Amino acid sequence: MAVQHEILSRLRPRIQKLGRPPGLAVVLVGHDPASEIYVRAKIKACAELGIFSEKLTPPETATTEELVALVEELNGRSDIDGILVQMPLPKHVDARRVLETVAADKDADGFHPMNVGYLVAGRPAPRSCTPAGIIELLKHYRIPMAGRHAVVLGRSDIVGKPMALMLLQENATVTICHSRTVNLPQMCRQADILVAAIGRAAFVTADFIQPGATVVDVGINRITDSAEAARLGRSEEFESKGKAVVGDVNPIDAARVAGAYTPVPGGVGPLTIAMLMSNTVKAARMRRGVRIPAAASAQR
């Protein structure tokens, strides 16, 4: 993917100037199949880029206290610049407490409340990876944001809220919509840029899309019904795998109505990993005293 390649190409000379490789620790609790796939992709990206990575695999039975102690140990290690706790954690674990134990300057995911506050204030800090990747995507394809109406469908702490803040920093006029929004299709149809992150398979249909709008699909949903797969043009994938992956946007409608559209899979996903690498390198540079301007932090 051209945008991902561009982001990673910017990082290589920065890594070489550091003297030692940046270090990323990934904490993977238990054996969730999807999480294992995501972590493998992240470790692979580190290896290709020259970032030291260490995977820690506590058992499914690990307690909140044990995970907090593990994160605190990583906080104190000088060879680790970024820490990622792969979600979801087991239900018995206090996920918020574990995530907030990660030192703010080692927060590779950009989830720590202090870093969210820095995002609001426009100060340098790790940025939530998926929204940051979407901003890079829009810039790469020269999609104007300043003065345009952007609608973010979804209000999660991981995507929706930081996405709205980042678009606002690019001088877009931003509306946040969600499951309780009245006249949801009508609200979304006003968007020049529509970011769908609501977590429902093919929820966004043609009625939600202004003709010619830019549509960014953040969703990853697995469908196991053959008729549904056929309706969404995923019959071939379903026949070979017994399931199919679709985003939050109906791909047939988006291809017909939108001016530009990110596919699922293969659209936003690779950018999320690229921005994780960017956050890790940025953390390493900041911990070594390299000054990063606020504008550069917001963009990269």
Residues noted as catalytic:
42, 86, 109
Type of residue at 298: A
Q: Sort 232 into a burial class: Cβ within 10 Å, 0-12 / 13-18 / 19+.
A: buried
Rounded Cα gap, residues 187 and 251, in angstroms:
20
Rounded Cα gap, residues 26 and 6, in angstroms:
24
**CA dihedral sign of residues 50, 11, 35, 76:** positive
From 216, 200, 252, select the one nearest 231 (Cα to Cα): 252
Rounded Cα gap, residues 29 and 63, in angstroms:
10
Decide: 108 and 280 in contact? Cβ < 8 Å.
yes
Rounded Cα gap, residues 59 and 16, in angstroms:
36
- Expressed in angstroms, the distance from the first to the final Cα of the chain is 17
For 133-159, give the DSSP string.
Answer: HHHHHHHHTT---TT-EEEEE---TTT
